[in-house]
Each structure stands twice: as C-alpha cells, then as structure tokens.
C-alpha cells in the first residue's frame, strides 16, 4: 500500500511540473468549484481522493451505495409530513415521496460527488437537467469520456464545437426515413435466427439467459445495416468482438470511478491498461478490415462517384450501408480513414450494446408482468393471426400497445444510465450555482421516476405512454435517447429494431422471468446491465388463427 501511495504522489508531482499552465488553470477552476459547490449536498470527502475512498469495489454493492447517497443528499422530506413508499419493494431509484397534499418534496435532485480532485454534479430531476440538455452551447462532453475516445475515436459521440456540428449535419441524412425502410428485411431475418436459437430452450426444463443471444443478434444487425457486412456472430463467428465490447465497458467503468487508475503507471501495473489496449486493438482492427473490404466492393460496382448525388430512394435501392455513405462522403467532407473508423466504431458500439440492453430489459419486465405480456400477445395475434410473414415498417404502427411497453421499459431501465457535459459558463440550478468547468451528469432513470410526471413511477405501467398522459408531462422527463440538440441521431433506428425483434419473439414465445425485481440489480456501466443476466423460462405459443 505504501509503495502504491508513493507511486501516486510521484505521478502527481511529475504531472504538475510537465503541465504547469494547465495545472494553474485547473487550480483556479477548482478553487471556484470548492467555493460554489460547498453549498450543494454530497458525501464526505478527503484531500486528493474526494469521496472515491468510500466507493464500494463490487459494482452491485456500489449501486446500493449510490441509492443511499441519493436518498440522503438529493431528497429532503419534512419529518412531520413526509411519507416514503417503496413501490414493489424497490429500494432506491424510484421512490415515491409525498407530503400530506400528495406533492413530492424534492430538493431539485442535485448532488455533488468529488471523484479524486474532480467534482461531479448529478442532476437527477428533469427540472435540473433541462437547462443543460436544451442548450445549444453546453454540448461538450467531459474529460471522463477521454478513455472512451481512446477506443472509438473522436466521432459523433465525443466531438464538440464546429467538428460536432459538421458531423451531425453530415450524418443525419443517413438516417432518413426512406433509408431506414430498407433495414426491416435485415431486422426480420436476424430476429428469426434469434428466435430459432431460443426455440431450443422452449418447453424444456432448461432456462436461458437471453443477454448474450440478443447481443449477438444486435451485432449482426448493426454490422449488416451500418457496415454492409454479414459477420454471422449468431451462428458462432466473430464472437470476439462482442466479448471485447463487454470487457471494455467494464474496464472503462472501473477506470472512471477509481481515480488512482487515472495515473498511467497504476493503470498498467494493475494489468487493466494492457487488457484495455488489447481489446481496443481487436475492435479497431476489425473495423479497419471491414472498411477496406467495403471500399473494394464499392469501387468494383462503380458506385463511389455516384453516391453524393443519390436520393434516399436510390440509396435504399442499392442497399447502401452507413459505412458506404461515409466512404462516399470522404472526399467532399475531407474525412480521413480514421475519421470514418471513428464514426463506424461509434455506431457499432452504440448500435448493438444499447439496443440489446433495451430489448433485454423490455422482455425482462414483460416476463414478470404476465398479464401485460398477454395484452401484447393478444394485440400481435389480432393483427398477424397465424401468419408467419415478414414484419415490415407499416406493421409496427398497428402494434401501439407493444410500443407503449417498450417505452415503459426504456423509462424504468434506460440503456444509457448517464449523460455528461462540461459547463463552459456558470449555471444556475434552483438556488445553486454550478461553476464553469464543472462536470455535470444527468440521469434519465432518475428523471423518469419522478411522481410529478408519472402516475406509478416504480411500476411497469405501459399506460404512462398513452397519448393523454404523454401530453400532460414535460418531454424532458423521458429522455432515454438524451434530448435537445445533442440527442441520439440513431433513436428511430434503435426503436424500429427493438420493436421488430420484440414482435418477432412474442409472436412465437411466452417469456417468464426467473430473476425478477429486486434481485436483478441495474448495473450502471457504460450501458445499463443486469447483475444476473436476463434469465427466462420460455414457452412456445399457439397463435390465434385469423
């Protein structure tokens, strides 16, 4: 322990000497942060480590610790009138707090946590998060994303300023409605492969953890739609990429919550740095290989010079992928091969890990709310009858209750648990001032469990997404895809994929959750993950004949 401490102090000294100007600027900002943030409640701190010495090493235990801090520092209840009710015995995230007039007593959902020498302010309510998310200037991702940049590069997720605006403007047309229409054939084909794999466990004594199966299906979909390449991971090929992404997410999460790992010597002495580099190389090499192959295919078809003038209908006709369009834009937008690699890696990661999380959590909720699952089955059977035809875009419009269930799952268990920003000016939230340079994080899970906006904040209650209830609440209370100018450009793609896969699976099966709440904890890594997987008993269904 002493040697580690000496190494830590030596590393600090070296960094101070090497980066004096930056350190001086940081010290001025930190002095202001101490002055203003002292008023914001948060856990106790010590020099250098902040509150990090209190963090639980075990990820699941850490979630309980965050719950306790949220109750203690974010929410204030008057002792004479306040009543705390735990819906369905969930501890933490979705407390319903009422006074005697049934109005929630909250302190604006603001809490500070010092992680090492870096202060972070958590904005848990939609009132607190809205001024940040709707701003056209507060679009810079904080330094906590730097390690993610080492993996996926400075693409749309990480970039800021003029570069971000230019990339956003360039990429948005690639998600045109008419282009998305061409992806439903891929959604259905890959969903059927998934359903055939699940069928092996149906009506047996075996249970199945769907998480790895859904991940591989989502990976096959994003590779075929975004990269124009079939990798067949569902049939046992290229599974190394899935494993690499899973481990990278774990390593990044540990790196961000334990500040001593920010020092390169310690990061590598633990072996985590070498492991991180190995998986980054595996991921990047895979993407570079596919880019090279696709460029050759496009040149062979003579399409490279034509793509800039193609309409969305022509793009769909030629079945061009996101990667194809990036390659076609390379000269016009002055993109390097690494620029393309960064954007593709961004969509590879976000396009399979987030959607698999969304689908898994939705089925997990339905698997313990069997009466609600039956309503989904009834709606699907009424529309499709006993037909096993392919699901197309128009079909999903006829399944409104299924969409309500999916959105309710996204409300309770959003795939991305936190969004971060760096403030480029002081920000007033309620009676607090959050100073320039500070990092703020917004929680879509906490914002969407506010009883002021949702009738049953902790229950799986799809009627929250009836048109009547949607019209009565602040749109910033439901932000699974973020909100404002920096919202997720691929959210329509994600919803279409998730609805298609869910409809395909529910046409054929009934799912019974074997690890219901509260035993299966929500683990907030880069993507929200279940502590015990998504384990189901699967039963085949007899569809109602039309």
pLDDT confidence tier of residue 36, bands split at 50, 70 and 90: confident
Average pLDDT, the chain: 85
Q: Which pLDDT band holds residue 37 (cuts at 50, 70, 90)?
A: confident
Domain extent listing, the chain: 2-77+108-540
Residue 253 has pLDDT above 80, yes or no: yes
pLDDT beyond 90 at 304: no
Instruction: Quote the pLDDT of residue 281.
Output: 93
- What pLDDT score was predicted for residue 155? 87
**How much is the pLDDT for 5?**
59
Mean pLDDT of 484-492: 91
Length reported for the chain: 546
Q: What is the pLDDT of residue 24?
A: 66
pLDDT at 12: 62
Highest-pLDDT range among 246-255, 367-376, 480-489: 367-376
Per-residue confidence band for 239, with pLDDT thresholds at 50, 70 and 90: confident
80 band by pLDDT with thresholds 50, 70 and 90: very low
pLDDT computed for residue 306 by the predictor = 74
Rounded to an integer, the average pLDDT of 35-52 is 89
Q: Is 302 left (phi over 0), alpha (psi -120 to 50) or beta?
A: left
Say what the pLDDT of residue 309 is. Answer: 73
In the numeric block, the tokens 């204030």 are attached to: 76
Residue 261: which residues within 8 A CB-CB, separation 6 or more? 254, 255, 267, 270, 272
Task: Identify the pLDDT of residue 474.
Answer: 93
CATH code of the domain made up of 2-77+108-540: 1.10.630.10
Question: Is pLDDT above 80 for 14?
Answer: no
Choose among 175, 231, 172, 191: nearest CA to 499. Answer: 191
For 242, the token pair is 């899935």
Most confident of 16-25, 85-94, 400-409, 452-461: 400-409
pLDDT (mean) for 27-33: 71
313: pLDDT strictly greater than 60: yes
- Region of poorest pLDDT, from 101-110, 507-516, 524-533: 101-110
Residue 544 pLDDT exceeds 50 = no
Most confident of the ranges 37-41, 341-345, 529-533: 529-533
Q: Among positive and negative, which fits the CA dihedral 60, 61, 63, 67?
A: positive
CB-based contacts of 247: which residues, under 8 Å, 6+ apart? Answer: 275, 279
Residue 178 has pLDDT above 80, yes or no: no
- Residue 371 predicted with pLDDT over 90: yes
Tell me if 488 is assigned to a ligand binding site. yes
- Tell me how far apart the alpha carbons of residues 392 and 400 are, in angstroms, rounded to a whole number: 15
Residue 4 — very low, low, confident or very high, per pLDDT cuts 50/70/90?
low
pLDDT at res. 92: 40
Greater confidence (477 vs 29) lies with: 477
Bridge partner list, 420? 441
pLDDT reported for residue 330: 83
Residue % of the chain over a pLDDT of 90: 51
User: 419: which strand partners?
Assistant: 442
- For position 101, what pLDDT does the model report? 35
Residue 78's pLDDT band, with cuts at 50, 70 and 90, is very low
**Per-residue pLDDT at 97 exceeds 50:** no
Beta-carbon contacts of 11 under 8 Å, excluding residues fewer than 6 positions away, are 263, 264, 265, 266
Distance CA 20, CA 346 (A): 34
Is the per-residue pLDDT at 336 higher than 90? Answer: no
pLDDT-derived band of residue 2, with 50, 70 and 90 as boundaries? low
The residues, any chain, with a CB within 8 Å of residue 114's CB and separated by 6 or more, are 42, 45, 50, 51, 52, 120
At 379, the pLDDT band (50, 70, 90 cuts) reads very high
CA distances for 401 relative to 354, 384, 449, 481, angstroms: 22, 15, 21, 20
pLDDT in tens, 317-327: 777 888 888 88
Q: What is the mean pLDDT of residues 417-437?
A: 90
- Report how far residue 511's alpha carbon sits from residue 504's, in angstroms, rounded to the nearest whole number: 13
Cβ atoms 498, 189 nearer than 8 A: no
> pLDDT tens across 130-171, in order?
999 999 999 999 988 999 999 988 888 889 999 999 888 888
- Name the residue among 236, 156, 151, 235 with its Cα closest to residue 196: 235
In the prediction, which pLDDT does 329 show? 84
Q: What is the pLDDT of residue 79?
A: 37
CA separation for the pair 525, 114 (Å, rounded) = 19
Predicted local confidence at residue 542, as pLDDT: 65
- pLDDT reading at 259 higher than 60: yes
pLDDT-derived band at 103 (thresholds 50, 70, 90) equals: very low
What pLDDT is recorded for position 275?
Answer: 96
Q: Can the peptide bond before residue 9 be classed as cis, meaning omega within 30 degrees of 0?
A: no
- Whether 91 has a pLDDT exceeding 50, the answer reads no
Nearby residues of 79 by Cβ (< 8 Å), 6 or more positions away: none
């Amino acid at each position: 322990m002493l040697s580690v401490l000496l190494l830590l102090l030596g590393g600090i000294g070296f960094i101070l000497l090497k980066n004096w100007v930056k350190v001086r600027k940081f010290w001025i900002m930190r002095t202001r942060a101490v002055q203003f943030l002292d008023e914001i409640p948060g856990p106790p701190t010590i020099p250098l480590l902040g509150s990090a010495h209190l963090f639980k090493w075990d990820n699941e235990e850490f979630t309980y610790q965050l719950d306790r801090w949220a109750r203690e520092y974010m929410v204030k209840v008057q002792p004479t009138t306040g009543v705390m009710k735990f819906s369905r015995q969930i501890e933490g995230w979705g407390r319903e707090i009422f006074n005697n007039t049934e109005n929630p007593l909250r302190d604006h959902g603001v809490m500070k946590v010092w992680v090492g020498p870096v202060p972070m302010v958590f904005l848990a309510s939609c009132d607190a998060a809205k001024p940040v998310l709707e701003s056209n200037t507060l679009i810079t991702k904080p330094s906590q994303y730097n390690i993610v940049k080492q993996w996926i590069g400075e693409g749309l997720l990480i970039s800021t300023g003029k570069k971000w605006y230019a990339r956003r403007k360039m990429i948005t047309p690639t998600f045109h409605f008419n282009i998305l229409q061409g992806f439903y054939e891929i959604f259905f084909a890959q969903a059927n492969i998934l359903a055939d794999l699940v069928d092996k466990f149906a009506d047996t004594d075996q249970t199945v953890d769907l998480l790895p199966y859904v991940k591989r299906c989502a990976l096959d979909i994003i590779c075929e739609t975004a990269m124009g390449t079939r990798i067949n991971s569902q049939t046992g090929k290229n599974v190394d990429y899935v494993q690499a992404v899973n481990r990278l997410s774990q390593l990044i999460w540990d790196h961000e919550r334990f500040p001593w790992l920010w020092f390169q010597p310690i990061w590598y002495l633990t072996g985590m740095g070498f492991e991180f580099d190995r998986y980054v190389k595996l991921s990047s090499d895979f993407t570079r290989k596919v880019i090279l192959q696709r460029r050759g295919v496009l040149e062979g078809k003579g399409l490279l010079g034509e793509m800039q003038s193609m309409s969305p209908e022509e793009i769909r006709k030629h079945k061009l992928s996101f990667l194809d369009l990036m390659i076609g834009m390379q000269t016009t937008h002055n993109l390097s091969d690494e620029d393309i690699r960064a954007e593709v890696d961004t969509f590879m990661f976000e396009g399979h890990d987030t959607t698999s999380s969304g689908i898994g959590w939705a089925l997990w909720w339905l698997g313990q709310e069997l009466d609600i699952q039956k309503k989904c089955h009834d709606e699907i059977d009424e529309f499709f009858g006993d037909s096993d035809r392919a699901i197309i875009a128009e079909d999903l419009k006829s399944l409104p209750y299924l969409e309500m269930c999916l959105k309710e799952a996204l409300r309770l268990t959003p795939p991305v648990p936190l969004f971060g920003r760096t403030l480029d000016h002081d920000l007033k939230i309620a009676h607090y001032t959050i100073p320039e340079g500070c990092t703020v994080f917004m929680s879509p899970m906490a914002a969407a469990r506010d009883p002021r906006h949702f009738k049953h904040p902790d229950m799986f209650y799809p009627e929250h997404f009836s048109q009547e209830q949607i019209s009565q609440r602040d749109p910033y209370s439901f932000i699974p895809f973020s909100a404002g100018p920096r919202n997720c450009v691929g959210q329509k793609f994600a919803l279409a994929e998730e609805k298609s896969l869910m409809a395909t699976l529910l046409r054929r099966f009934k799912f019974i959750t074997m690890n219901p709440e509260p035993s299966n904890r929500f683990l907030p890594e880069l993507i929200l993950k279940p502590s015990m997987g998504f384990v189901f008993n699967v039963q085949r269904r007899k569809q109602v004949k039309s």
